[in-house]
Amino acid sequence: MKLIFLGSGSAFTVNNENYHSNMLLVDDTDAKLLIDCGSDARLSLAELGFTYKDIHDVYISHLHADHAGGLEWLGFTSYFDPSCHRPNLYIHHSLQTPLWEKVLSGGMTSLQGSIADLSTYFKVHLINDNEVFKWNKLSLQTVQTVHVMNGFKILPSFGLIFTANGTKVFITTDTQFAPAQICDFYEWADIIFQDCETTKTTSGVHANYVELLTLTPKIRSKMWLYHYNPGPLPNAKKDGFHGFVAKGQVFDFG
């Protein structure tokens, strides 16, 4: 089982030095699960030699464009290629309606001679609260994170935990610095891929590097940092982290 970072940058990545922090999970049969499909996914996939034809399964953590903006490209290219089947789309049930109505419908509703919906382009697999979902032989569990407060309600956003060949993996996706909410998953995991902004001022919607420095050495030692901003990076290894994930970096879970 391998995890490939198509990119490791934030939403504000602007050139091919890095791309949005989307990932490919590749199993021992070479099947691929795309974890998030940002608006530059077609470029980051192509740089590693992949096309839409390689993407049969995709998981979407939340609805920001660097995580879901590439679904229009994936849906259209697959739909108009007679050799392709609809990709499987795994999403938490709370994301289904807003994904279509607020993100995709403006460009994808109208087809020549028909009116489309989300199921026109994707085989939708809804994930319920506290439910494990299966991708091939792998069991994955969504973890709701605190990303953005939408008025008086938390914007739905979900990380992932899974065990790959005995290695316990926690991918936060986008999250505020909220150790009290996810400390159990920090403790459970053998390796943590942690959302980390590197700006001098904290945005309040991503965990900032200076906040992550307050975690215990034990937790920091499990962490690879990603989703960081363009520009110079701190010395993460010196500060007790594994380091910053590089574009194209591969993690092999044996």
Task: State how far the Cα of 23 lies from the Cα of 8, in Å rounded to an integer.
Answer: 9
pLDDT in tens, 150-195: 888 888 999 999 999 999 999 999 999 999 999 999 999 999 999 9
Asked if pLDDT for residue 241 goes beyond 90, the answer is yes
Residue 194: C-alpha distances to residues 132, 142, 221, 226 (Å)? 21, 15, 12, 6
How many angstroms separate the first and last alpha carbons of the chain?
6
Asked if pLDDT for residue 198 goes beyond 90, the answer is yes
pLDDT in tens, 115-161: 999 999 999 999 999 999 999 999 999 999 999 888 888 889 999 99
pLDDT in tens, 22-61: 999 999 999 999 999 999 999 999 999 999 999 999 999 9
pLDDT in tens, 199-231: 998 999 999 999 999 999 999 999 999 999 999
| pLDDT, position 123 | 98
| pLDDT, position 151 | 86
Question: Residue-wise over 73-90: b if at least 16 C-beta within 10 A, else e?
Answer: bbbebbbeeeeeeebbbb
**Which domains are delineated in the chain?**
2-252 (3.60.15.10)
Residues found in the chain: 254
Task: State how far the Cα of 248 lies from the Cα of 4, in Å rounded to an integer.
Answer: 6
| pLDDT, position 14 | 87
Helices (H), the chain: 41-47, 65-68, 71-79, 96-98, 105-108, 118-121, 179-188, 209-212, 217-220
